[in-house]
């Protein structure tokens, strides 16, 4: 029955090709706009996620030891400070799973000598392993960063801040120079960060974790911290929750887990709102296309009233008439959604190329099977919804009255 109804529907639509094309055009435009917007939205979101991971610390959290506690309004040292050793780091990694990578960080102050003028300066030393070996907010000025293998080693390499490099002349001159950290010579291999005004200078040096103990005197060493780096924003939320549960179990109130949770929530909310807004706006064009289909089918009911009466008189049931008009609606929306899908894909690539050229940002259209199926099926559903009223109106015509219609 459905096949027969579809055949009759196609013949009817072919009898008035211009009107059929104009009604299909609304579905084509609506589907193309929806597919293009979804693809561009996914592409922009992917680019934003890459920038967040590369240039911010929103996908990182830290686990640190509490060295003091507040008692009666006083900050007093703790006797039970938790030392985050390699064993605890490995245990935390197992707890977090593959979605989050943890690394151990060491920090402490030291004396810097070997500078021009034989001046004595102080600097904050950091040593990190794993993904945290390159801080996400660091900007390389000259030279290079430590590799992941070097960061885990013990070679006397150093990446210095721009303010410290300025004392050596400038950033290019600093690369290759030798500075003394706690009396031990280190070779500068890179300069990172920006120059700050006088009074706000930041003297920082990153060294391999195996060279930390020779660069920082024991009395100036701070307790180790652990940095967790999530693979995605979603993994970050789950990772922080697991890390806090682990910290409470292992160290009680002696371990603190901190992250930029407030900003992270706003980023997730902003991405969702942007996608819903764009999808809602383009969805309006699909509704307009559905109204066009309903108008075409209502006009067909009026023009084919006599034909409907003859079919009813010769034994056609009401459900046969409903199936015929719904079949016509599905044919229009099916063809329109297919053409719109192709145009939407092409349009998304074109707009993405234009955006990339105008903004110098490598934005690309991102296509996934789920959103494309949603866009195409939405067009078909719109056709069914707007085709129901004309189909019911046609099925309710009286056979005798319909046959008398000229």
* pLDDT recorded at residue 391: 67
Bridge partners, residue 192, by sequence: 140, 161
Bridge partners, residue 65, by sequence: 255
* pLDDT recorded at residue 186: 94
* pLDDT recorded at residue 358: 75
Phi (first) and psi of residue 100, to 5 degrees: -135, 135
Q: What is the pLDDT along the chain (406 residues), one digit of tens a residue?
A: 445 555 555 555 555 666 667 667 777 777 787 788 888 877 777 777 777 766 666 778 888 888 777 777 777 777 777 778 888 888 888 988 888 888 888 889 999 988 887 678 889 999 987 665 665 556 788 888 888 888 888 899 999 988 888 888 888 888 999 999 998 999 999 998 877 777 677 888 999 989 999 999 988 888 888 888 888 877 888 888 898 999 888 887 788 888 876 676 777 777 778 777 777 776 776 677 667 666 766 666 666 666 666 666 666 677 777 777 677 777 777 777 788 888 888 888 887 788 777 777 777 777 777 667 776 677 677 777 777 766 676 666 666 555 555 4
**Rounded to an integer, what distance in angstroms lies between the CA atom of residue 377 and that of residue 405?**
37
H or E element at residue 256 = strand 255-259
**198 contact partners, CB below 8 Å, separation of at least 6:** none
Pair 204, 152: CB distance under 8 Å: no
For residue 406, the SS3 value is: coil
Describe the crossing of helices 261-303 and 233-251 by its angle, rounded to 10 degrees.
140
């Amino acid at each position: 029955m459905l096949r027969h109804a579809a055949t009759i529907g196609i013949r009817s639509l072919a009898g008035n090709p211009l009107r059929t094309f104009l009604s299909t055009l609304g579905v084509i435009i609506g589907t193309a706009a929806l597919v293009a917007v979804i693809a561009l939205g996914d592409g922009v979101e992917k680019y934003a996620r890459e920038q967040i991971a590369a240039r911010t610390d929103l996908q990182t959290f830290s686990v640190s030891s509490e060295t003091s506690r507040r008692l009666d309004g006083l900050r007093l040292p703790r006797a039970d400070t938790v030392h985050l050793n390699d064993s605890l780091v490995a245990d935390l990694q197992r707890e977090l799973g593959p979605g989050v990578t943890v690394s151990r960080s060491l920090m402490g102050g030291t004396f810097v000598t070997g500078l021009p003028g034989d001046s004595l300066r102080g600097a904050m030393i950091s040593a990190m392993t794993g993904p945290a070996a390159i801080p996400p907010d660091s900007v390389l000025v000259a030279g290079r960063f430590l590799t992941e293998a070097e960061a885990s080693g013990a070679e006397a390499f150093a990446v210095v801040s721009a303010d410290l490099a300025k004392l050596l002349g400038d950033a290019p001159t600093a690369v290759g120079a030798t500075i003394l950290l706690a009396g031990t010579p280190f070779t500068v291999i890179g300069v990172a960060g920006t120059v700050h005004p006088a009074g706000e200078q930041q003297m920082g040096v990153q060294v391999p974790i195996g060279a930390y103990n020779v660069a920082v005197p024991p009395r100036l060493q701070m307790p180790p911290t652990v940095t967790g780096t999530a693979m995605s924003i979603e993994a970050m939320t789950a990772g922080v929750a697991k890390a806090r549960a682990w910290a409470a179990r292992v160290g009680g109130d002696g371990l603190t887990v901190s992250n930029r949770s407030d900003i992270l929530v706003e980023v997730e909310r902003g991405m969702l709102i942007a996608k819903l807004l764009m999808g809602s706006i383009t969805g309006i064009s699909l509704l307009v296309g559905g109204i066009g289909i309903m108008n075409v089918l209502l006009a067909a009911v009026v023009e084919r009233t006599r034909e409907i009466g003859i079919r009813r008189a010769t034994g056609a049931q009401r459900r046969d008439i409903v199936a015929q008009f719904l079949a016509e609606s599905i044919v229009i929306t099916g063809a329109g959604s297919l053409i719109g899908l192709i145009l939407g894909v092409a349009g998304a690539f074109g707009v993405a190329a234009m955006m990339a050229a105008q903004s110098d940002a490598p934005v690309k259209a991102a296509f996934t099977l789920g959103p494309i199926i949603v866009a195409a099926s939405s067009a078909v559903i719109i056709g069914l919804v707007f085709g129901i009223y004309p189909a019911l109106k046609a099925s309710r015509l009286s056979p005798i009255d319909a046959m008398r219609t000229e």
